[in-house]
Structures are given as C-alpha cells and as structure tokens.
Structure 1
Amino acid sequence: MAATVVTKANFEAEVLKSDKPVIVDFWASWCGPCRMLSPVIEEISETEPGIKVCSVNVDEQMELAAQFQISSIPTLLAFKGGQLVNQSLGVIPKAQILGLVK
C-alpha cells in the first residue's frame, strides 16, 4: 500500500481521525534528501500494517506546511490519536522512523 497523499482538505480525516498511528512525510520533488528517504517511507507503508503513512508535497500544500511550521524538508511528523507526538528532520534510518510512533 503506497503512502496516502494528504492535502489540507483531507488532513483531518486521514491523519487526525486515523485509528492507527500516522507518519506524515513532508517533502518536495526537487529535494535530494527527500528522494533518498522516499524508498524507506514506501517500504514502511508496504510492510507495517499497523502504521498509516501519509505524504504531503510542500510545494502543493503550502498552507499545511505553514500550519506545522515546516521550514526544512524532509520532515516527518508522527501522530497518535489525533495528537502530534514526535517529529524528525532530515534523512533517518527505518528503525528511527518506526520509533517515532512506537
């Protein structure tokens, strides 16, 4: 299952109201580190059924990026029960990404 594309319109339904922990990847197509992190994010979305993985393109969703004060990418935000519980900046290993929601 690929990461769910999130926009301002569906953020509440996909992230805040999710019954699973959610990792939200803020990225852009021109960002080299984002491209390095992308395969890891996709792998998590396919191999971790207990975690929902979402993706936000900061160029297309500037208002959402501003809402969470995303100033550098890639940034990962972790949500549980509709609450922001953790965040990470830059490329990190899969184990660390999973640790954001554990």
Structure 2
Amino acid sequence: MNHLQELSSIELIQYLQEKKSVALFVYTPMCGTCKLAARMLGIMQEALPAVPLYQININTAPALAEQWQVTSVPALLIFQRNELVARHYAIQSVGFLYDVLKPLA
C-alpha cells in the first residue's frame, strides 16, 4: 500500500529548501506503471523510514516538470541541498530502489 506523502508544488519547494535530501516520486493517477512503482516505493518507505520520500502528481505541477525536464512518468527524482542530482525513469525493482534510496537514509 502506498502511503507516500503527497505534496503540492508550494510544499515541495519548501521541503527542498529545508531538507538536505529529498526523493520525489512523480506520477499521474491514470498511469498503470506508476501504480506498480508506487507499491515498490511503499515497500521502500517501510524498509528505509528515514528516507525523505514524497510524491507529486505531475498534472498539478507542470511548471516544475518542465523546470526539471521530466519527460515521462513514473519518475524518481533525487535532490541534494535543493539541487536535482539524479533522475530515474525505469523503476525496475525493489532492489534497484533500495540501492538508489539507501544513501539518503
């Protein structure tokens, strides 16, 4: 079950400025692959509870999507000190997510 905190664009900008690192799951509600990725991220949230993991519906944040050059969903964006440092489009497996998110814990 996916319990990632949904952020608005305004909340997201604030979190990026406040937190050292942020993992952001970018999705659309009608995307089947996004639903599968969200389930895997839910597992990661339980395995790595210290990781600041949030989600945003790309439909509600088109300006941010353009700014960060998000070309498709699902996407996992990694931010360090308010700077986009990694962009992942292929959410292949729970193991892959663990390797990507573990350094943020």
Equivalent position of 1:89 in the other structure:
89
Equivalent position of 1:7 in the other structure:
8
Q: CA RMSD in A?
A: 1.9
Q: Where in structure 1 do 4 or more consecutive aligned residues deviate above 4 Å?
A: none
The answer to whether the Cα contact below 8 Å between 1:23 and 1:54 also exists between their aligned partners in 2 is yes
The answer to whether the Cα contact below 8 Å between 1:76 and 1:89 also exists between their aligned partners in 2 is yes
Equivalent position of 1:68 in the other structure:
68
TM-score, length basis structure 2: 0.81
TM-score, length basis structure 1: 0.83
The answer to whether the Cα contact below 8 Å between 1:6 and 1:14 also exists between their aligned partners in 2 is no
**Structure 1: gaps spanning 5 or more residues:** none
Measured against aligned partners, the alpha-carbon deviations of 1:77-98 in whole angstroms (never above 9, x if no partner) come to 1112222221211332122223
What displacement does 1:15 show?
2.9
The answer to whether the Cα contact below 8 Å between 1:2 and 1:46 also exists between their aligned partners in 2 is no
More helix by share: 2
**Per the alignment, in what secondary structure is the counterpart of residue 10 of structure 2?**
coil
Matches of residues 1-102 of structure 1 in structure 2 within 5 Å? 2-19=3-20, 21-101=21-101, 102=103
Aligned residues: 101
What displacement does 1:35 show?
1.0
C-alpha distance in 1, partners of 2:95/2:82? 23
Moved more, 50-59 or 10-19: 10-19
The answer to whether the Cα contact below 8 Å between 2:7 and 2:56 also exists between their aligned partners in 1 is yes
Moved more, 7-16 or 53-62: 7-16
**Structure 2: gaps spanning 5 or more residues:** none
